[in-house]
Amino acid sequence: MKKKGSKREEGGIKKVSKLKSDLKKQKWLHIFVLMGVIWMIIFSYIPMGGIVISFKNYRVIDTIWSAPWVGLENFRDIFMDDMFLPIMKNTIGISVIGLVIGFPLPIIFALMLNELTNVKMKKFSQTISYLPHFLSWVVLGGMMINWLGETGIFNDIMQNFGIAETGKVWLADKTKFWGIAISSGLWKELGWNSIIYLAAIAGIDPGLYEAARIDGAGKLQQIWHITLPSIKGIVVLFLVLSVSNVLNVNWEQMLVLQNPLTLETSEVLDTYVYKMGLINGRFSFATAIGLFKSLVAFVLLITANKVTKKLNDTSIL
Amino acid sequence: MKKKLILLAMVVLFMGTVSVLDAGGFSLFSKKKKKAEAVTRVNVDPTKPGWQQDTKEVELDWYVNFGWFQGKWGRDGASQAMTEATGVDINYMMPVGDGGQKINTMLASNTLPDLVTIGWWEGAYRDLIEGGYVYALDELAKKYDPYFFEVASPEKLGWYKEADGHTYGYPNASYTKADIEEGKDSITSNYSFLVRKDIYEALGKPNMSTKEGFLNTLKKAKEMYPKVGGQPLIPIGFQEFGTGESSLGGYLQDYLAIPLEKDGRAYNRREDNEYKEWLKVFRKVNALGLISTDVFVDKRQQIEDKMTQGRYFAILYPHIDALQPLTNIYNNNPERMYISVDGPKNSMQEEHTFPGPAISGWTVTFITKNCKDPEKAIRFLDYMMGDEGQKAAFFGKEGLSWEMKNGKPEVLAEVKEMKTKNRTEYDQVHGGDYMNWMFMDNAMQERLWPAKLEGPTAQVRSYTKGKIQPRFKYERWDPSGQEKEAIIKQKVDLRWNSTLPKLIISESDEEFDKIWNSYVKYAEKMKYSTILDYQTNKMTENAIKLGLN
Amino acid sequence: MIRSRGEKIFDTINTTIMLLFCISIIYPIWYIVVLSFNDGMDAMRGGIYWWPRVFTIETYKTVLGASGIMTSYGVTIAKTIVGVATHVFFIGLVAYGLSKEDLRFRKIYMGLGLVTMFFNGGLIPNFLLINKLGLLNSFWVFILPCLFNMFEMIVMMNFFKAIPKSIEESAYIDGANYLIIFFKIVLPLSMPVVATIGLWNGVWQWNDFFSGVIYINNPDLQPIQTFLYKIISQAGASQMTANLPASAMQAKTTSESVKLATMILTTLPIMLVYPFLQKYFVKGMMVGATKG
């Protein structure tokens, strides 16, 4: 006859049996998820071991194991660099301002697109809007150098409206660099970034709008009370992710648009690493920076998620 | 929170485990084993070329680390002739775009093919040798083809001899001291200081090599020709500033004949006084509004476009990079062609000193230890480097592309015409003119089969004759790769690159001096003198290698 | 439907802003199209704004006539179709599993995945892995390493979470297991997000040139972007031989014009495919769900 154990043991047995029944019920779900985990182990975790080279002095002729340890030297190399502070300032500055201005815009664009009554206009605008996403910065940058040059079309327009001085080379002005970089980046990605919000809006039950209209709500009120709350989940998701991405500035864009007159405001982390590291095959250095950026992004993500959890009561994770 | 820490710990443990597995021979991150030596197939008579005696047909994979190369072996007459002669068929492998990443991945995983060609300046040069990926050519030659030593230039073999006494790579486009002496009248350089012929002549062909002459000419040019085709004239242009020194760095120093060594030591040209004074001239030029801001912003494409539009009066730019605009103008608007004239000279008005062809050559080719038939490979090299190989590479297949006339090979008339009218077809059918350039010996070619200078670059090329300064001693004297000195040099260079434009746009000589001094202080702080020491040591080594005093 | 004056004003402002935005995009793209149809050497002389001055299809002929281009298109089409299909289903299944808040060990799974979003070994370790797996020079290198993406999984998961539990509950009670529920109910209701992820991945697969550069040596397996990238760098070749190449003399294509033409050729397929996907971005996908 089984001895009656303490309450804890009973609770323990109950827990195990609940676990077993849950697993049975969720069998398929676990299979689904495990497929992903196995993939991750093979394609993410195994190569992730290579991160150790940020603590080594790795040359391609070594194996990852045989390369000599150097501890934090690679990290010291970047943090102690006199360019480090200006670079961080530029990277974070461009990113944050770009985020503050650039985050709401695709949402607003999606809303506006959604509200267009002329269907032809809607399809047309949508298709046109994401085209710049496919232009390469190499070509776009070259065109911008022409258009923003002394005799470029931008100056022509400005002069016609009597705004700007004669023949200014805009890309030579270091105070204007951030503005040019941010606005061109925005223009390029606006349409593309709005796609996900359009998808979210597509999932809203039109019946809600009907009901609101009957109740006498105007366009703006409908947007405020129905559309926005319905896409809140996706908006928060992208916001959190964008925040965690703050050290990632589009370095191809920066490389093309920067020139020696603007380096103080146009040199960012990735362009510096490219010039200092990758060109010479300094993989350890580049990996160390990569690790630094990853850590920052990871911490920002967890923090941002915690904050939104407190404010919203839902986690995106 | 605790769960997160556990998670993090698991991950770290995981990553640690994987690294350890590497050591345990799991061989995820380790490399393939090296092959065992094969038995000699053919014992060759050392008095005759090895390639004539070994007729086995072999296919070799040849990695050429240049994305712009579009060769395809076997399609054109030249490579067909080479296969007929040696029995070797080649499969060219090129990276897409810049080869840097491709070769690094091949090195890391030891997946190199049979032959490899890279630039002598590339980091991979050291990696290939130090990592033990390649055979010593002299060892292979001793074992399989002693005739190799008859074709290979002893100076070139000596130049590329490593500390262990072996030579691993063989260069192309390499000139020995004797070659340069012989070719004094035909060797040209890529340097130029271009001016628009029509404006230059209208101004009375002024002397632009003195400081006042330079400044005043630019001023007058701007006054007389403020606009070109509706757009403002750009009195003086330079190479792209981008991340480099543009043409105001070493390029200008070469024009000013500033020496590379003084009193047996490597000389810090950057801090030379003559050079500094000329930079001040450029500052004045800018202060007079004669340097337009776009020269700092423009990238190569914009510069080429502006040159084609004839917007520069003068431009300090190597003509080799201006080939497309020069060709464009030559064909469409020859009246405003650019010509090369004397540029800035030092206070003693010494002749310009242009770097010329070097003994380092251009690219170096190796036989890797993964080669499926190193015996055949060394004999193949023997062929490529000798007269027969050079003839095939330069002229093409006999009968198809050329024939013997009076004991000298001569290109068939219709082939010559195809070369000028339809180069693409010429490349695909005939493939001569060193389309397969990896072993090209320009010195030999110029000696045996000299070509005439013609076309858009005729004048700019012939201008450089006689101004070439051999720089053997200073070749390959920069620290490279991940050496400590290389990193110092890079940091100081980066700082210099951003200082240069600041010097030019500074508003007064006092400001100029301030900026100058802050650079000098930085270089001192970073111990730039160690770079000079490094260069001096290399220079001494080089002198010994070349048998110079 | 009678619209109030407020709605009409809103609509007018909306339409005007859209129009201006579209013009700001159309002109640059038109400019690129015009330049790509202009003789490359002539284009260097500048001054072209609205229409080609020296019309030529030479640039396009050079690009489209390059031998091997058809094979490359084939490779890209294949990798996009196979890649997107496998990618979307794979992620969808994982996302579905993780969308259940009561899933056991959920936090651990999420944690594992989150780390992969941020931490990466870099070029060399990834290359070594692909090499060891024997995926070098294989078509599957375009498919297997791209099967999964944690970020996209999170996006899909959030969409799945928004589906009312009642629908699934009733199906489960009727005896369906999760596999059937996923394919028969959840997926059809999630077409907007499926279309979005499909589009993202499709564009990624189509535009990917890096895999071709690093992992593929066999020219028959090169996707179109790698192929085009190769053509661009070859067109820009300033033959560095000491001898003057006569080739420069009659080149009508320059590396610049080739770059522009390839950009147009890249964007075109997407423009043609997108209309088919647009219907998924239209209001009212959930209509049937709540009423039915």
> Given pLDDT bands bounded at 50, 70 and 90, which one contains residue C281?
low
- A79 has a pLDDT exceeding 80: yes
- In this structure, are residues C209 and C229 in contact, taking their beta carbons and an 8 Å threshold? yes
Q: Which of C119, C153, C178 lies closest to A29 in CB terms? A: C178
C266 vs A contacts (CB less than 8 Å): 134
Whether the pLDDT of residue A7 is over 70: the answer is no
- Is C244 in contact with B457 (Cβ distance < 8 A)? yes
Q: How far B366 CA sits from the closest chain C CA (Å)? A: 20
Residue C224 and residue C212: Cα distance in Å, rounded? 9
Q: How far is A1 from chain C (nearest CA, A)?
A: 33
CA distance C142 to C210: 10
Contact C263 A139 (CB under 8 A): yes
**CB–CB of B324 and C44 under 8 A?**
yes
Q: How far apart are CA A315 and CA B178, in angstroms?
A: 77
Cβ distance of A127 and C100 shorter than 8 Å: no
Least confident of A24-33, A189-198, B210-219, C60-69: C60-69
Q: How confident is the model at residue C44 (pLDDT cuts 50, 70, 90)?
A: confident
At A69 the three-state DSSP class reads strand
Amino acid found at B318: P
Task: Using pLDDT thresholds of 50, 70 and 90, give the confidence band for residue B517.
Answer: very high
The answer to whether the Cβ–Cβ distance between B455 and C240 falls below 8 Å is no
The pLDDT value recorded for residue B448 is 85
pLDDT of A205 > 90? The answer is no
> What is the chain B residue with the closest CA to A61?
B131
Binning chain B into helix, strand and coil, the percentages to the nearest 5 are 50, 10, 40
- Looking at residue C285, its pLDDT comes to 42
The whole-number pLDDT of residue B27 equals 47
- pLDDT of B11 > 50? The answer is yes
**Residue B35: pLDDT band with limits 50, 70, 90:** low
* Other Cβ atoms closer than 10 A to C279: 12
- Domain range summary for chain A, segments of one domain joined by +: 1-46, 73-312
The Cα–Cα gap between B102 and B113 comes to: 12
Strands (E), chain C: none
- pLDDT value for C101: 87
3-state SS, residue B45: coil
> For residue A215, what are its two tokens?
């109740």
Burial profile B195-214: b = 16 or more Cβ within 10 angstroms, e = fewer: bbbebbeebeebebbbbeeb
How many whole angstroms separate alpha carbon B248 and alpha carbon B315? 11
For chain A, the residue count is 317
Please report the pLDDT score of residue A97 as a whole number: 93
- The predicted model scores a pTM of 0.87
How do B58-64 and B115-119 pair as beta strands? parallel
CA distance C238 to B361: 18
CA distance, residue B338 to nearest chain C CA (Å): 15
Hey, which CATH number is domain A73-312, 3.30.70.260, 1.10.3720.10, 2.60.40.3880, 3.20.20.150?
1.10.3720.10
Q: Would an 8 Å CB–CB cutoff place C96 in contact with chain A?
A: yes
Q: Which amino acid is at B38?
A: A
Q: Which residues of B touch A267 (CB under 8 A)?
A: none
Q: And the tokens for A291? A: 């690790």
This model of the complex carries an ipTM of 0.84
Q: How many CB pairs under 8 A join A and B?
A: 113
Q: CA B367 to CA B135: how far, in whole Å?
A: 6
pLDDT at B276 over 90: yes
pLDDT in tens, C189-221: 888 889 889 989 998 998 888 888 889 988 889
d(CA B449, CA B451): 6
- Closest residue of chain C to B439, computed from CA coordinates: C241
Q: Where are the alpha helices (DSSP H) in chain A?
A: 7-25, 27-40, 46-48, 73-79, 84-102, 104-115, 119-129, 137-147, 153-160, 177-202, 206-214, 219-222, 228-230, 232-244, 251-257, 263-266, 269-276, 283-312
Inform me whether the pLDDT recorded for B59 exceeds 60. Answer: yes
Give CA–CA dist A133/B421, Å, rounded: 40
Q: What is the pLDDT of residue B272?
A: 94
* pLDDT at position B278: 96
| Of A32, A37, A47, Cβ closest to residue C129 | A47
pLDDT at B29 over 80: no
pLDDT at position B21 over 60: no
Please give the Cα distance from C165 to C177 (Å, whole number): 15
- Nearest by CB to residue C21, choosing from A129, A134, A139, is A129
Range of lowest pLDDT (A84-93, A274-283, B194-203, B425-434): A274-283
Question: What average pLDDT does the segment B205-220 reach?
Answer: 95
Chains in contact with C via at least 3 Cβ–Cβ pairs below 8 Å: A, B
> Does the structure show a pLDDT above 70 at C287?
no
Which of B8, B129, B293 to substitute to test the interface with A, most A CBs within 10 Å?
Answer: B293
- The single residue listed with the structure tokens 């990605």 is A189
Higher per-residue pLDDT: B352 or B242: B352
Please tell me the distance in Å from C83's CA to the nearest CA on chain B.
Answer: 23
First to last CA, chain B: 72
Residues of C in contact with B427 (CB under 8 A): 247
| CB nearest to C158's CB, from A220, A233, A294 | A233
Per-residue confidence (pLDDT) for residue C45, from 0 to 100: 77
Q: How is chain C split into domains, by residue range?
A: 57-292
pLDDT tops 80 at residue B31? no
Reduced to 3 states (helix: H, G, I; strand: E, B; else coil), residue A129 is: helix
pLDDT at A165: 63
Q: Which of B409, B486, B475 is nearest to B171 (CA)?
A: B475
Torsion of CA C102, C103, C107, C110, to 10 degrees: -120
Per-residue pLDDT at B99 exceeds 50? yes
- Given this model, what pLDDT does residue C284 score? 45
* Angle at the Cα of B16 from the Cα atoms of B11 and B20, rounded to 5 degrees: 150
Closest by CA to B175, choosing from B537, B546, B549, is B546
B472-506 per-position pLDDT tens digit:
899 999 988 778 898 899 889 988 988 999 999 99
Structure tokens at C189: 């209701």
Report whether pLDDT(C132) > 50: yes
User: What is the amino acid identity at position C263?
Assistant: M
Residue C7 has pLDDT above 80, yes or no: no
Point out the residue among B14, B123, B301 whose CB comes nearest to the CB of A281: B123
Give the residue among B346, B188, B317, B349 at the shortest CA–CA distance from B248: B317
The closest alpha carbon to C218, from C72, C63, C83, C76, belongs to: C72
Q: Residue C290: pLDDT above 50?
A: no
Q: Locate tokens 């991150």: which residue? A: B29
| Cβ-contact B74, B392 below 8 angstroms | no
Distance (Å, whole) CA A294 – CA C118: 5
Subunit contact A280:B494, Cβ cutoff 8 A? no
* DSSP 8-class letter at B248: G
CA A57 distance to own-chain centroid: 30
Please report which confidence band the pLDDT of residue B9 belongs to, taking 50, 70 and 90 as the band edges: low
Q: Is the dihedral of CA C187, C192, C198, C204 positive or negative?
A: negative
Interchain proximity C103–A115, CB inside 8 Å:
no
Which has the closest alpha carbon to A268: A241, A289, A240?
A289
Residue A308's pLDDT band, with cuts at 50, 70 and 90, is confident
Beta-carbon contacts of residue A30 (< 8 Å; ≥ 6 apart): A23, C97, C103, C104
pLDDT band at B318 (very low <50, low <70, confident <90, very high): very high
Contact A195 C129 (CB under 8 A): no
Q: CB–CB of B76/B428 below 8 Å?
A: yes
Q: What is the average per-residue pLDDT within B423-450?
A: 87
Strands B261-262 and B265-266: antiparallel
pLDDT for A99 equals 92
Cα–Cα distance, C210 to B528 (Å, whole number): 38
- Whether A273 shows a pLDDT value over 90: the answer reads no
The count of other CB atoms within 10 Å of the CB of residue B75 is: 13
Give CA–CA dist B112/B135, Å, rounded: 13
Residue B135 has pLDDT above 50, yes or no: yes
Handedness of CA A222, A225, A227, A228 (dihedral sign): positive
Q: Which of A64, A96, A72, A48 is nearest to A289 (CA)?
A: A72
Which C positions 145-174 lie with beta carbon below 8 A of chain A?
Answer: 145, 147-148, 150-151, 153-155, 158-159, 161-162
Q: How far is C2 from chain A (nearest CA, A)?
A: 12
Across B16-42, average pLDDT: 55
High-pLDDT (> 90) share of chain A, %? 20
Over residues B209-222, mean pLDDT:
95
Residues A105-152 have pLDDT tens digits of 999 999 888 888 888 888 888 888 888 888 888 888 888 888 888 778
The amino acid that residue B484 corresponds to is K
Q: What is the pLDDT of residue A314?
A: 66
Chain B to chain C, count of Cβ pairs less than 8 Å apart?
136
Confidence at C238, pLDDT banded by 50, 70, 90: very low
Q: According to the per-residue pLDDT averaged within each range, which of A206-215, B378-387, B463-472, C36-45 is highest?
A: B378-387
- CA of B301 to nearest chain C CA: how many angstroms apart? 8
Place of tokens 């002299």: B138
Q: Which CATH superfamily is domain C57-292 in?
A: MetI-like (1.10.3720.10)
At B524 the pLDDT is 94
Query: Alpha-carbon distance B268 to B249, whole Å?
Result: 12
How far apart, in whole angstroms, are the C-alpha atoms of residue B531 and residue B217? 38
**d(C-alpha B325, C-alpha B196), whole Å:** 13
Share above pLDDT 70 across residues of chain B, in percent, rounded to a whole number: 93
Q: Which chains touch B (3 or more CB pairs under 8 A)?
A: A, C
Give the pLDDT confidence score for residue C228 in this predicted structure: 84
**Measured between beta carbons, which residues in chain B are less than 8 angstroms from residue C230?**
67, 94, 96-97
Chain B interface includes C209 (CB < 8 A): yes
Could you identify the residue written with the tokens 């200082």?
A: B499
The span from the CA of B336 to the CA of B317, in Å, is: 17
Q: For the CA atoms of chain A, what is the radius of gyration?
A: 26
CB contact under 8 A, B111 and C244: no
Q: Which of A63, A150, A259 sits opposite B232 (nearest CB)?
A: A150
Cβ neighbours of A176 in B, within 8 Å? none
Q: Residue range A257-266: average pLDDT?
A: 87
Average pLDDT over residues B212-219: 95
Tell me, what's the pLDDT at C244? Answer: 34
- d(CA A145, CA A170) in angstroms, rounded, equals 9
Please write the tens of the pLDDT for every residue from B163-194.
Answer: 899 999 999 999 998 888 888 888 888 999 99
Rounded Cα distance between B150 and C211, Å, is 45
Arithmetic mean of pLDDT over chain B: 88
Residue B506: CB atoms within 10 A of its CB come to 20
Q: Label residue B198 by pLDDT band (50, 70, 90).
A: very high
Residue from the list C29, C177, C284 with its beta carbon closest to the beta carbon of A28: C177
Under 8 Å between Cβ of C240 and C209: no
Inspect the interface and report whether the beta carbons of B482 and A146 lie closer than 8 Å. no
Beta bridge partner(s), residue A237: none
Question: In this model, does residue B457 exceed pLDDT 90?
Answer: no
> CB distance A45–B15 less than 8 Å?
yes
Q: What is the pLDDT of residue B15?
A: 63
In a mutational test of the C interface, the residue from A41, A131, A231, A312 whose CB has the highest number of chain C CBs within 10 Å is A131
Chain B contacts in chain C segment 97-126 (CB below 8 A):
107-108, 111-112, 115, 123-125
What is the Cα–Cα distance from C15 to C19, expressed in whole angstroms? Answer: 6
Averaged pLDDT for residues C72-82: 93
User: Rounded distance, CA C248 to CA B319, Å?
Assistant: 13
* Cα–Cα distance list, C105 to A35, C102, C110, C234 (Å): 15, 9, 9, 53
C172 contacts: CB under 8 Å, gap ≥ 6 = C178, C181
Among chain A residues, CA nearest to B230: A151
The confidence band for B101, taking pLDDT boundaries of 50, 70 and 90, is: confident
| Predicted pLDDT at A179 | 92
